[in-house]
Homo-oligomer: A and B are copies of this chain.
Amino acid sequence: MAFQDLKRFILGEALSNSQAEHERLPKWKALPVFSSDAMSSVAYATEEILIILAALSAAAAVWSLPIALTIAALLLIVSLSYRQTISLYPHGGGAYTVARENLGETPGLLAGAALMIDYILTVAVSISAGVAAITSALPECAPYAVAIALGLILIMTLLNLRGASESGLIFSIPTYFFIASILILLIVGFYRTWLGDLPPKAGIVHEAYPKIGLFLVLRAFASGCAALTGIEAISNGVPAFREPSAKNAKTTLMIMIAVLGTFFMGVTALAHQHLILPSAAGGGHGGGETVLSQLARTVFGDSMAYYAIQTATALILVMAANTAFADFPRLASILGKDRYMPRQLSNIGDRLVFSNGITVLGIAAALLIYLFDADTHALIPLYSVGVFLSFTLSQSGMVAHHLRHREPHWVKGLLLNLAGAIATALVLCVVAVTKFTEGAYIIILVIPAMLLLFRGVKRHYESVGRQLALPKTWTLDHVTPSIVVVPISGFHTGVLKALEYARGISKNIHVCVVDVDERATANVRQQWRQNLGEESASPLKLVVLDAPYRSVIDPVVDYLNELERGNPGQTLTVVIPEFVTKHWWHATLHNQTAFFLKTRLRYIERRVVVSVSYHLRE
């Protein structure tokens, strides 16, 4: 089949079960797969803070420094809290698992809903910010931002359908390229600032912290918390690490936090040093230049180095979406196994990945990008609510775990997780309040809706289970031969095949002719007499049905109803002779009576419809 060939070409050969173990990742491959999301927030977190502050006054931008410092501290608290999760949940401790096990079903589902939304937004935000990096460097691409973003999502989806290991390899290079680029940017930036050889920006004077309102500071802080997105990915994905997986995951987590914290602080400080403020369409597409792009241009001018930084940023942002492509399908599969989501999401596809989950994620993210016009700044408020809700539930679950199980060193763990839980809960409140009207309300409405959906799905599966359940012992005693009905319009080779088949499965066969054309009906009677002999001597009975409205379908349906009334409890089998044309377009030349009859009779209980097909050779 051509479709199968195309699928194989794009996705690679099917992998057999025995190839599964090979797919586990060493640390150097796991770092890019699971941390590109977290690290890439360097590209937009600083900008999100500055957008809020600069709306008041350029001087207010100085507040970005203490805000960034607070966020870095938060980052450390949350990551220490997540290390505990990795220790205690070596098989993958996503917020869903942790909350469900320790806090109960509803908090678990709440976390599951929050996480699913997050992963979708991770893709949407990262891709939008990646496209912003491209349009900052190449403003002429700005009108095509949405199209570029959608194209990138398509490519990501296909790469992920190919399987985890290959994508690990593909994604390592950009992540390491980004780490090197930002490192060089910061080193060269601070060095040249220290030397004093960077051109000073005219206009605004460095001033002591101007007085600004608390709400504004909180809003800026809430925006900057986008820097924390993605740090939970490693703790969800522990089983994907090579053994010893918990230890490897912890090491990878701490490397990631160190790099992320340093980069975020460095970019914020350097941006402030050079008085960089978000430009008009800041962060979005449509002509605005991102803060990181302005910074890179300030440090390197319009050189190759500038373009290298933009390329690295765009690449890691695009690749960041991959974090979600690794984790969303895993979560969906767990929810599917627990019967809260369609169970097809738990099917492992023929490349050993959860193909259905990957596809769903790709489509959902594409839809968001399309609806929000690939505007990072518009998507961030939606993003943060879900992120901090799942953080809070996950840490609270850990607190409950320590209190209940009291394993060795539980007090240390309890304190770390408690700190994490309180910190993230506070941030959640700040985000929900300060970002409510900017889009957070959407998520606050969607999460309960998803909760209802999860429960509805579960109820359906339970009901189906009950309905299909067999008693402890059962037998196959209730066997009655089927009554067979064969609707025909005349005798030809295909009809003969169908009659032969009917003879093979039953001794009670009603051959029906619908009398739409007197001549044809007479012809059937005559051929019957000539070739099938007296009716009474045969298991075949000829039935001529009236057709006052020229429909062939209705009289057959009526006759079946009548037969059913006369033989309650018995199964009727309708054998439809059908000839299959050699080319599909030949079919347009024939009445599709068989098709219409099948459609009418489909899915009626105790009525089985069989097509006996006869193939035309030319």
Which A residues contact B (CB, under 8 angstroms)?
A: 14-18, 342-344, 347-350, 457, 460-461, 463-464, 467-470, 473-476, 478-482, 491-494, 496, 499-501, 503-506, 530-532, 540, 548-551, 571, 573, 579-581, 586, 588-591, 603-605, 608-618
Contacts and interface: CB of A to CB of B under 8 A. Distances in A.
A505 B506 contact: yes
Contacts of A586: 460
Contact of A503 (B342, B468, B476, B499): B476
B17 A548 contact: yes
* Number of chain copies forming the complex: 2
A221 B65 CA distance: 87
27 contacts: A18-B548, A343-B590, A343-B591, A347-B550, A347-B591, A348-B550, A350-B549, A457-B589, A460-B586, A461-B589, A463-B616, A463-B618, A464-B590, A467-B493, A468-B493, A468-B614, A469-B492, A470-B496, A474-B531, A475-B531, A476-B499, A476-B500, A476-B532, A482-B505, A505-B573, A605-B615, A610-B610
Contacts of A501: 482, 571, 608
Contacts of A581: 464
Nearest to A499: B476
Given A17-B550, A571-B501, A613-B603, A491 B479 contact: no
Contact of A478 (B344, B473, B500): B500
Q: Which of A468, A603, A618 counts the most chain B CB atoms within 10 A?
A: A468
Contacts of A540: 476
B343 A589 contact: yes
A460 B579 CA distance: 14
Q: In this complex, which of A460, A473, A604 has the most chain B Cβ atoms within 10 angstroms of its Cβ?
A: A460
Contacts of A474: 491, 496, 531
A505 B503 contact: no
B549 A616 contact: no
A360 to B, nearest CB: 12
Contacts of A591: 343-344, 347
Contacts of A503: 476, 479
A530 to B, nearest CB: 7
Contact of A530 (B473, B479, B481, B611): B473
Contacts of A15: 549
B617 A467 contact: yes
A342 B473 contact: no
A542 B604 CA distance: 28
